[in-house]
């Protein structure tokens, strides 16, 4: 089977869509988040979607399968909140290894199944590494701007636990995504290198930042170019943008990456902006109308969807992307 570093040279790769959006369609109850694992746990667990890899693996497997059937080349593990920092809200820090290991194994099982059926279209698993729910650069207390509820060393420890389990579970690539604080991302990259050096098991690394609003900056104030410069010391497979914005609003910042980056470029925008009820209204056709501009301008190597996207969106995106050549790498 070809490695992802080889396949990405030949065609635009398609990433999957939203995990949370698909989970919401199942109308799960509290017991679904406890089944066979956390029956006697004291805290409420509903909404802790990463636990479903343990308690309802059938649902997570079916979502991965739906995205591969829609044409995705890469699916993300159900581990976005799989650090001890994020799981501490539920008093489940000790289950971090199981959450990530089983999350990776479920996705890998489905990927291998599809690769076996279509050897010329190998499927890959990206270990999803979210930003945690804490930031090393901003105080959570407006009355105490110098206060921090986490630090670099704590983040490194948490990320190392997650990365170790994802690698043990068999992921093909690591995806550090939805980066709103580059210091958090730097801690993740530091953790990646420490795990790689200790285990001798290296996989490609993708990173994806989040431009929070029309200011064109991350939550911690960096421009797209500053974000790129901050993480370019690491030999990345790709750098990209995801979440917060729809495709229409993401394009100028993606163009900056495509112009300035010597890495492959990825994009997985939301299905537009959320409406007053928090739902996403862009249909696959509407989203592809916007994404076509990315492709016409030659900005993309990896394309997919974030919040509000479904297998229908990914099918439309895959069909659209198949008509285009990938962005060519260049030395900046």
* Domain annotation covers residue 327: no
Distance (Å, rounded) from C-alpha 43 to C-alpha 49? 15
What whole-number percentage of the chain has pLDDT above 90? Answer: 83
* Domain annotation covers residue 329: no
* Token output for 157: 């420890």
Q: Is 177 helix (H, G, I), strand (E, B) or coil?
A: strand
What pLDDT does residue 332 have?
A: 57
* Token output for 91: 């008093």
Distance (Å, rounded) from C-alpha 238 to C-alpha 303? 11
What pLDDT does residue 221 have?
A: 86
* Domain annotation covers residue 76: yes
Distance (Å, rounded) from C-alpha 105 to C-alpha 171? 8
Helices and strands in the chain, H and E counts: 12, 8
Q: What is the pTM of this model?
A: 0.95
What pLDDT does residue 150 have?
A: 87
Average pLDDT over residues 224-242: 96
**Interacting residues of 227 by C-beta distance below 8 A, sequence separation 6+:** 179, 182, 209, 218
Higher pLDDT, 165 or 220: 165
Look at the chain and report how many structural domains it folds into.
1
Cβ contact 263:234 at 8 Å: no
Average pLDDT over residues 21-50: 96
**pLDDT by residue (tens digit) across 123-168?**
999 999 999 988 888 888 778 888 888 899 999 999 999 999 999 9
CB half-sphere exposure, 120, CA atoms < 13 A: 0
Please, which residues bridge with residue 267 across strands?
241, 303
Q: Is 57 helix (H, G, I), strand (E, B) or coil?
A: helix
Average pLDDT over residues 173-197: 96
* Domain annotation covers residue 328: no
**Interacting residues of 304 by C-beta distance below 8 A, sequence separation 6+:** 14, 15, 16, 17, 72, 74, 266, 267, 268, 314, 317
What pLDDT does residue 292 have?
A: 96
* Domain annotation covers residue 22: yes
Q: What is the CATH number of the domain that holds 274?
A: 3.20.20.330
* Domain annotation covers residue 332: no
Residue 27: left if φ>0, alpha if ψ -120 to 50, beta else—which one? left
Q: Of 96, 176, 102, 89, nearest to 134 (Cα)?
A: 89
Give the DSSP H or E segment for 174. strand 173-179
What pLDDT does residue 29 have?
A: 97
CB half-sphere exposure, 226, CA atoms < 13 A: 14
What pLDDT does residue 252 have?
A: 92
What pLDDT does residue 248 have?
A: 85
Cβ contact 283:291 at 8 Å: no
Could you give the C-alpha distances from 295 to 251, 286, 298, 299, 310, in angstroms and in order? 11, 15, 5, 6, 20
* Domain annotation covers residue 326: no
- Is the pLDDT at 316 greater than 80, yes or no? yes
Average pLDDT over residues 226-233: 95
Cβ contact 272:246 at 8 Å: yes
Domain containing 113: what range? 4-321
**pLDDT by residue (tens digit) across 249-260?**
899 999 999 999
Listed as own residue / partner, the contacts of 249-254 with beta carbons closer than 8 Å and 24 or more positions apart are 249/214, 249/273, 250/211, 251/290, 251/293, 251/294, 251/299, 252/216, 253/211, 253/216, 253/224, 254/294, 254/299, 254/300
Report the mean per-residue pLDDT for the chain: 94
* Domain annotation covers residue 176: yes
- DSSP E strand stretches across 52-118: 74-76
What whole-number percentage of the chain has pLDDT above 70? Answer: 99
């Amino acid at each position: 089977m070809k490695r992802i570093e080889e396949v990405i040279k030949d065609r635009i790769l398609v990433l999957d869509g939203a995990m949370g959006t698909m989970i919401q369609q199942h109308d799960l109850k509290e017991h679904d988040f406890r089944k066979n694992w956390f029956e006697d746990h004291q805290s409420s667990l509903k909404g802790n979607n990463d636990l479903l890899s343990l308690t309802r693996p059938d649902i997570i497997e079916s979502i991965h399968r739906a995205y591969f059937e829609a044409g995705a080349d890469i699916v993300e593990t159900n581990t976005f909140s799989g650090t001890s920092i994020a799981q501490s809200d539920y008093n489940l820090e000790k289950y971090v290894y199981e959450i990530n290991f089983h999350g990776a194994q479920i996705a890998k099982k489905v990927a291998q199944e599809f690769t076996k059926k279509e050897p010329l279209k190998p499927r890959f698993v990206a270990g999803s590494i979210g930003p945690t729910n804490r930031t090393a650069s901003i105080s959570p207390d407006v009355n105490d701007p110098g206060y921090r509820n986490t630090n670099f060393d704590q983040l490194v420890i948490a990320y190392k636990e997650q990365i170790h389990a994802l690698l043990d579970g068999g992921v093909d690539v690591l995806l550090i995504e939805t980066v709103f604080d580059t210091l958090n991302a730097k801690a993740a990259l530091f953790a990646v290198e420490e795990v790689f050096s200790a285990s001798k098991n290296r996989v490609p690394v993708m990173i994806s930042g989040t431009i929070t609003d029309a200011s064109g900056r991350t939550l911690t104030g960096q421009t797209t170019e500053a974000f790129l410069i901050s993480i370019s010391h690491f030999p990345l497979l790709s750098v990209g943008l995801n979440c917060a914005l729809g495709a229409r609003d993401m394009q100028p910042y993606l163009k900056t990456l495509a112009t300035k980056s010597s890495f492959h470029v990825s994009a997985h925008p939301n299905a537009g902006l959320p409406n007053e009820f928090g739902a996403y209204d862009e249909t696959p056709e509407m989203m592809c109308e916007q994404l076509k501009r990315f492709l016409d301008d030659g900005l993309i190597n990896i394309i997919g969807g974030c919040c509000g996207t479904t297998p229908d969106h990914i099918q439309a995106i895959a069909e659209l992307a198949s008509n285009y050549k990938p962005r060519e790498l260049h030395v900046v």
